[in-house]
A and B are shown apart, each in its own frame.
Chain A
Amino acid sequence: MSIDSAALSLSSRGAAGRPAPWHDWMRKAVRLLLGLVIAAVVWEGAVVLFGIKPHYLPRLSAILAAIAATPQAYVDGFLRTLAETLIGFVAGGAFGVLIGIAFFRLRALREMAFPIFVVSQTIPVIAFGALVVLWFGNTLLAKAVIAFYLTFFPVTVNTLLGLETVDPRQVAMMRSFGASRRQLLLRLQLPTALPQIFVALRLASSLSLVGAIVGEWFGDTTGLGVLLLQAMYTENVVAIWGALLASALLGTGFYACVAAAERRLVFWSAEQ
């Protein structure tokens, strides 16, 4: 069913060449909801039917009930982790694009700094996290910095890659119109690189969440990572699953937002 709807949406986009109309969107939303309901029923049914011990897999209803019992902890944790993720993602994305542009324009800078960037990425995030906590303490900023650390590099690399795919004949044409370097960058080079940049941003959306959660493990009082850790220490399986569901919701929601932004902004690359 999901394959069918994907094929349908593809063909309708291809023919019309613009985003799917409203009722198409509704149908997709309904199908998604239906899929989730079926998955939930299968989960609940399997646990009851096969008598799976709650230690391995609790019933979905039990998890939802546990969340409903203390919703504030989950809402606070969700919002806190979301804030850390967003700050890290936005800062990492912006920094990555800027450095990518700088590397593209200044060959000497690239040759000096790129190896250092690569080395920085080989440091395990745990070791880096310990350093960051030493520097910034147990603050929101510390988590955002770890999220930033995981996101900026893929964005830098893909920005550089994307900028290098620019057709030199297009550059020559723009120059013959009298374009300045700034006009070249804004009207030709960045738009050309945009599809590549978004590939990295989608990856970065997941990585920044990982960074925020790992960051929380170094010590904090709110956040989804904190909930996970607490549940692990108390061996509260239902709470682990609760934190997991909340993280999954945050992760998919964020990824979906980035992917939606991509579809809006890079509408042309799917059509070529």
Chain B
Amino acid sequence: MQAGLQTKETGPVGSLEDAAEPLLELRAVTKTFGEVTALARLDATIARGEFVTVVGPSGCGKSTLFNIVAGLEEPDTGGVLRFEGRSCHAADLLGQVSFMPQRDLLLPWRNVVDNAILALEVEGVPRQQARAQALRMLPEFGLAGFENQYPHQLSGGMRQRVALMRTFLFERGLMLLDEPFGALDALTRAMMQRWLLDVWQKYRRTILFITHDVDEAIFLGDRVLVMTARPGSVKLEQVVDLPRPRRPEIVTAPEFIRLKRILLEAIEEESIKSFQSATVREQTS
């Protein structure tokens, strides 16, 4: 069923990357928490420089997937995890992947610069050097002049940009962003999306990006992974062939609408499943 739904096309980037080794490869990755199976035989491949978005019903295991790739959770035995061509345990990935959790999680006793350099500091970069590096990056993140402000003095959008800057400064091959704009209002979010694309295009990092917003998934991604209801696996892998740089108007383009229809249909199917299994659980318990 999975193969039938896959609409794998080889785009201009795809053909190049297929020859090269993928950055991250997950084969039959399963994760259970006691009775609950969060992920079941999930397969995914991420190429270098790719921007891959992940959508799926809530509770389907998206954050669990990220926690595994960030090294925070070990998957069940039997699956294969390969990073930069080498087979590895999840724990080996601690400190190897730049992870931005669902909330900004800024430390209230650190100002903007010191929050941004947190990961660098943990890595052992001298504070002065890390601060200088962060100060150079501030304007690009729309934070010029705010270096000495504390988190409680910032708006939600700015806090999110500080968290993103912290993630960007921690230069790793792979960036994991878990619903980074989920808590923002629609206008700020649209601005942040365009801004993220600009920064991504400049730094050319590989990004894996969770969202519950289909428009966002298409607007940002080279590829969209739709996950099944729990236990989560990849239901559909949709290549987004829209030209870059992408303008905001693109959301009304026929191609965009076509992709959105395909994705919505797949997500709808899974949402109903997850809703039904939730009601069944309620009735039996």
Contact = CB atoms under 8 A, between A and B. Distances in A.
B94 A172 contact: no
Contacts of A188: 107
Contacts of A136: none
B153 A272 contact: no
A172 B72 contact: yes
B150 interface: yes
Interface stretch (A156-164, A174-182, A230-238): A174-182
A209 B19 CA distance: 75
Contacts of A177: 95, 99, 118-119, 122-123, 170
B122 A170 contact: no
Chain B interface size, under 10 / 10 to 19 / 20 to 34 / 35 or more: 20 to 34
A158 B95 CA distance: 32
B108 A187 contact: no
Nearest to A180: B122
A170 B115 CA distance: 12
Nearest to A17: B153
Contact of A169 (B101, B108, B122): B101
B152 A271 contact: yes
Contacts of B123: 177-178
Interface in B161-210: 170
A268 B106 CA distance: 12
A194 to B, nearest CB: 8
B122 A268 contact: no
Contacts of A272: 108, 152
A268 B110 CA distance: 9
Contacts of A176: 70-72, 94-95, 97, 99
A183 interface: yes
Interface in B114-162: 118-119, 121-123, 150, 152-153
B72 A17 contact: no
A167 interface: yes
Interface string A172-209: 11111111000100011001001000000000000000
Contacts of B67: 172
Contacts of B94: 175-176, 178
A179 B150 contact: no
A183 B109 CA distance: 16
A176 to B, nearest CB: 4
A175 B150 contact: no
A271 to B, nearest CB: 5
B8 interface: no
Given A176-B94, A177-B118, A268 B109 contact: yes
Interface string B66-100: 01001110000000000000000000001111010
23 contacts: A169-B101, A169-B103, A169-B105, A172-B72, A173-B105, A175-B71, A176-B71, A176-B95, A176-B97, A176-B99, A177-B95, A177-B99, A177-B119, A177-B123, A177-B170, A178-B123, A179-B122, A183-B122, A187-B107, A267-B109, A268-B108, A271-B108, A272-B108
Interface of B: 67, 70-72, 94-97, 99, 101-103, 105, 107-109, 118-119, 121-123, 150, 152-153, 170
Interface of A: 17, 167, 169-170, 172-179, 183, 187-188, 191, 194, 267-269, 271-272
Q: Which 5 A-B pairs have the closest CB atoms?
A: A178-B95, A176-B99, A268-B108, A177-B119, A176-B70
